[in-house]
Each structure stands twice: as C-alpha cells, then as structure tokens.
C-alpha cells in the first residue's frame, strides 16, 4: 500500500509553491516525522515531513512549481518493515542534504561541505553553520602567497574564461513575485501620501547606553532602538486611532489592538513578521521577539501565521544606510513608519547651532482613511516619544 504525499495548505492566500530541495531521494527509506522536502512559497519556506514509514518515490524534480493539493511523491508502506540493504558509504553532503542557502555559501566561499558540522535538527547544516565556518577560516593565518612559478602553473591549468553575456534571464522567486504584486496593488488601490519629520536621538542613545549592561545581564539580550520605536509607535497609534485601522469595501475597520509588523530583509526578499500585542509587552519581550524573527527569517523558518494580521508596520531602511525614503504601505494597513540612518547634523537649539545625532522619520499613509492633520500628529507623537524616552512605559 502506498501513501500519496500532497502539497499541504500552508496559508489561506497561498495557492502554489516550489519544491526547492528534496531531503530524501527516490528509493530511500523514510520514517514518520522525517523531513521529505522544503516547500518554498511566496511568503515562507516550510519543511514537509513524512506521515508514515516506508520507501519514497518522488514525482517531481527539485525547483518545480507545484499547486496546493498536488501529488509530489508516494511512500510505499509495504516496504516499511522490509530489510533494506545498508547503502554504500556516502559523503556528508549526501547523508545530510544541504539547503539552497548553505549550498550557495559553500560554492561561493569554496567550503568543503564534508567538514561542516551541523547544529540543526538531525545534525543538519544550517546557514549559520556555514557562515561560522567561513568566519573561522578567515581568522586563521593566511598562507604565504604563491611564487611566480607556482602562479604561472596554476594559471596555465585554468580553463579558458567564458565571455560574459550581455544579459542574464532567470525566473523570479515566488517571494519576489508576491512582493511585486503587493507593491503594485498597494499603489493602485490606496491614496498613498508621505509626511516627514526628524528626531534627535541624543536622549534615547544616552538612556540605551546607560541601561545596556544591566539590561543584558538581566535579560540575556541587548537593548536596541527598535523596541523604543515600537513603544513610541503604540503611543502614537493610541493618540491617532485611525492610522491603526483599514478600509474594507465601504467600511472602515478600527483595530483596538496593536500587532506591529517589523520589516526584515532576507536573501529571498522582504518579509514582515508581526509582534503581537506590542502594547502589552516589555522592552525585553520586544527585543526577544525581534531577535527571534530575525533568526527565523535568515534561516527561512518563519511560519505563515507569524506574517499575517499586522495592524501597522515599521521599516528600518537606516540599517542599509538610507537617509530618507518614502515607504510603501503593507496592504490592507493604513500606515507604515520609515526609520532611517542616524547621522550627526547641525541643528538650531535655543538659538544656538549644535551638532546632534538626527534621524529622519517618514510616515506613508492611506489618505482615504487618514487626514493630513492626523498623520502629522502621529509623527510628532513618535518624535516626542523618542526625544523624551522617559515618557514611554520604561520597565528596565
């Protein structure tokens, strides 16, 4: 008897995905609960596990796009208890299939995959393991440069270089296609307007520096700037509730809770995991959530439910060096706050010119739901919270 392996539903808005890598090959014996393959969708990557013991027979190759409910493999249960000959010795790479991210790093950095030690489930090699191997290698003393004679021999042994193509065409990933659709949809369906302000980061920098050592010792995590901005944003949303709502048909839906999306950049594109009930969480809770989301995003382990249901979004382009930008709404939300690079600039304070660490703030909002006065009020409220951080609900 054979059990069909079908693509499961992984989210109400997801209709297809890509079988990015098979962790088990055709003819291999699998056990219930073992990862069979990674399904990459337009939002997350998910490991699909075996529902029974048996021998696997795959139906689709790696890299193929598949629909929800499509049969991609079968597991022959009649062979579950059969004696299977021990396979010939294989390399570490064959025994423990590598994820696409790990394979890319190994290829680019010329790593010996057989020497990589895995810290993931079932001793699987994670992206972090590969990056750690690169860092460890770079810390070793560099070898002496080759002699001219050695260099000539190596050069002579190299294959002739291929001429570069003028263009390269490749299919966009499901995540990138989804991002493109969302951005275009946001521009076409909302009346997006952006208002700007700036904030002096002196006080929050001083408070953070003063509290950092004690905060780290007490909670085991560093105190960052994002938790301050989340707290300031929640205070501003309470002062201007319309920005925490959305338009739905002919209705306006007011959200009376504060689930704040925090945009995180990954190799696959931008994802926005949601910090639930941000108004009820401590600074330590917020920092833990942010750190955990960043880790999951890097490793491609975010769950679909962690990306859904946000009421407002914060995007920090400053970590990439952006000085000023106009963020695009994350539908169906009515507002998004853009943080930017902290840069020392001369400003006027009490009639004197002083140099302060300044950050530009940008609020993009749906003008159908939010008036300009409300948008400006919101941004000033965020500015006040950052410039006077002790007015926030400090709990450390």
For tokens 């169906």, the residue is 332
Which residues form the catalytic set? Answer: 367, 371
Q: What is the pLDDT of residues 213-251, one digit of tens each?
A: 999 999 999 999 999 999 999 999 999 999 999 999 999
Q: What is the pLDDT of residue 384?
A: 97
Q: What is the pLDDT of residue 90?
A: 45
Nearest to 106 by CA among 139, 129, 136: 129
Of 102 and 391, which is predicted with more confidence?
A: 391
Name 64's Cβ contacts closer than 8 Å, sequence gap at least 6. Answer: 18, 19
Highest-scoring range by mean pLDDT, 98-112, 141-155, 168-182, 366-380: 366-380
Q: What is the pLDDT of residue 101?
A: 65
Nearest to 279 by CA among 221, 339, 228, 235: 235
Average pLDDT over all residues of the chain: 85
Nearest to 193 by CA among 391, 370, 8: 370
Class of domain 96-138: few secondary structures
CATH classification code of 175-391: 3.30.559.10
Output the pTM of the full model.
Answer: 0.67
pLDDT tier at 151 (50, 70, 90 boundaries)? Answer: very low
Q: What is the pLDDT of residue 160?
A: 53
Q: What is the pLDDT of residues 16-70, one digit of tens each?
A: 888 888 999 999 999 999 999 988 876 677 889 999 999 999 999 988 889 989 9
Q: What is the pLDDT of residues 304-362, one digit of tens each?
A: 889 888 999 999 999 999 999 999 999 899 999 999 999 999 999 999 999 999 999 99
pLDDT tier at 82 (50, 70, 90 boundaries)? Answer: low
Name 101's Cβ contacts closer than 8 Å, sequence gap at least 6. Answer: 127, 130, 267, 300
- List the chain domain ranges: 1-80, 96-138, 175-391
**128 pLDDT exceeds 70?**
no
Of 184 and 157, which is predicted with more confidence?
A: 184
CATH classification code of 1-80: 2.40.50.100
């Amino acid at each position: 008897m054979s059990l069909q392996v079908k693509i499961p539903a992984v989210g109400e808005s997801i209709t297809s995905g890509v079988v990015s890598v098979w962790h088990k090959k055709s003819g291999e014996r699998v056990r219930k609960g073992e990862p069979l393959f990674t399904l990459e969708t337009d939002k997350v990557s998910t490991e699909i596990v075996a529902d029974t013991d048996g021998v696997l027979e795959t139906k689709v190759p790696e890299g193929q796009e598949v629909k929800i409910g499509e049969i991609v493999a079968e597991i022959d249960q009649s062979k579950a208890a059969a004696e299977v000959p021990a396979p010939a010795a294989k390399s570490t790479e064959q025994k423990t299939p590598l994820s696409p991210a790990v394979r890319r790093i190994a290829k680019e950095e010329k790593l010996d995959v057989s020497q990589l030690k895995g810290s993931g489930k079932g001793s699987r090699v994670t992206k972090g393991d590969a990056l750690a191997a690169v860092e460890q290698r770079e810390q070793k003393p560099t070898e002496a440069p080759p002699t001219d004679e050695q260099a000539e021999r190596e050069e002579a042994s190299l294959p002739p270089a291929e001429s570069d193509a003028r263009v390269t065409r490749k299919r966009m990933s499901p995540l990138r296609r989804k991002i493109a659709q969302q951005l275009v949809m946001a521009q076409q369906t909302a009346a997006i307007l952006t208002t700007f302000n700036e904030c002096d980061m002196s006080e929050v920098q001083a408070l953070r520096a003063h509290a950092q050592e004690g905060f780290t010792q007490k909670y085991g995590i560093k105190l960052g700037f994002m938790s301050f901005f989340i707290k300031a944003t929640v205070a501003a949303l309470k002062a201007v509730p319309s920005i925490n709502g959305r338009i739905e048909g002919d209705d306006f839906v007011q959200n009376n809770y504060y689930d704040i999306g925090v945009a995180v950049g990954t190799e696959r594109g931008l994802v926005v995991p949601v910090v639930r009930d941000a108004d009820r969480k401590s600074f330590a809770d917020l920092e833990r959530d942010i750190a955990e989301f960043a880790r999951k995003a890097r490793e491609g382990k975010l769950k679909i439910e962690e990306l859904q249901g946000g009421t407002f979004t914060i995007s920090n382009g400053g970590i990439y060096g952006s000085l000023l930008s106009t963020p695009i709404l994350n539908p169906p939300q009515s507002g998004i706050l853009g943080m930017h690079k902290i840069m020392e600039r001369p400003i006027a304070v009490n009639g004197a010119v002083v140099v302060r660490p300044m950050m530009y703030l940008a609020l993009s909002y749906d003008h159908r739901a939010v008036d300009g006065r409300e948008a400006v009020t919101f941004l000033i409220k965020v500015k006040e919270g950052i410039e006077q951080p002790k007015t926030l609900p400090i709990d450390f």
